[in-house]
Amino acid sequence: MSNIKCIIIEDEPLAVKVLADYVEQVPFLELQGSFKDAILATEYLRDHVVDLIFLDIHLPKLKGMAFLKTLAHPPAVIITTAYHQYAVEGFELNVTDYLLKPIEFDRFLVAVNKVKTAQREKPQPAESSEPKDYLFLNVQKKKVKILFADIVYIESQREYIKIVTTKKAYLSKMSTHEIEALLPTHLFKRIHRSFIISINKIESYTAEEVEVNGVSIPIGRGYRDVIENL
């Protein structure tokens, strides 16, 4: 079973340190980052998939419960707070557990084991004997069939993505990490937080950009090894 990728949303540095130390002691947890407010976490979640959020309630800018309600498909959530009166609301929002500060390690372990158990019991999609060579995307209230072979690149445009194919471009309301999860990894690679390209459409590249079908796409600083490792 793969590790549980998690983030911490907490504005108290000491609380962040305690949680990060606890995460480090649990072999199946993998900390992806910590954020002092929910707005910063939202930006991260737009381009990254996580399995678990440790969420404080009293946050600046956007409160924890309000943030939780903005997530269309939330991962597992463990509330971490000094206030017990929000427990009922938390469980109504289907949180996995509710930890009261100061959090003891044994209680923390109980909570994350619930997440691990739920992940193990989650039904796995049946594998098709023949891999699909296409996907259907919502485009202007229609389901449009797009062949993987036709896709040149995909660009993030706030809450939308632009899928540029050899025939035309499409706009669909979804995030880049959602479309990335639908694409076969041997055919497509993310080379920038805002761009995913078709490997087969690469014509040339430098350390800073890739040219696909005559279009130059920038390579993000954290993605330069992706091209070199193809």
Confidence of residue 123 (pLDDT cuts 50, 70, 90): low
User: What is the structure's pLDDT at 222?
Assistant: 79
- Domain coverage including residue 59: 4-121
Residues 41 and 70: their CA atoms lie apart, in Å, by 12
Residue 122 in this model has a pLDDT that exceeds 70: no
Answer yes or no: do 102 and 146 share one domain.
no
169 or 223, which is more confident?
169
User: What is the structure's pLDDT at 85?
Assistant: 80
Answer yes or no: do 99 and 21 share one domain.
yes
- Residues forming beta bridges with residue 30, ordered by sequence position: 5
Q: What is the CATH number of the domain that holds 215?
A: 2.40.50.1020
Calculate the average pLDDT of the chain.
Answer: 89
Neighbours of 153 (CB within 10 A): 23
The arithmetic mean of pLDDT across residues 147-168, rounded, is: 93
User: What is the structure's pLDDT at 125?
Assistant: 53
Whether 129 is covered by a domain: the verdict is no
Would you state the structure tokens that stand for residue 173, as one six-digit string?
């309301």
Answer yes or no: do 116 and 145 share one domain.
no
Residues 22 and 9: their CA atoms lie apart, in Å, by 15
Residues 38 and 44: their CA atoms lie apart, in Å, by 10
The arithmetic mean of pLDDT across residues 168-194, rounded, is: 89
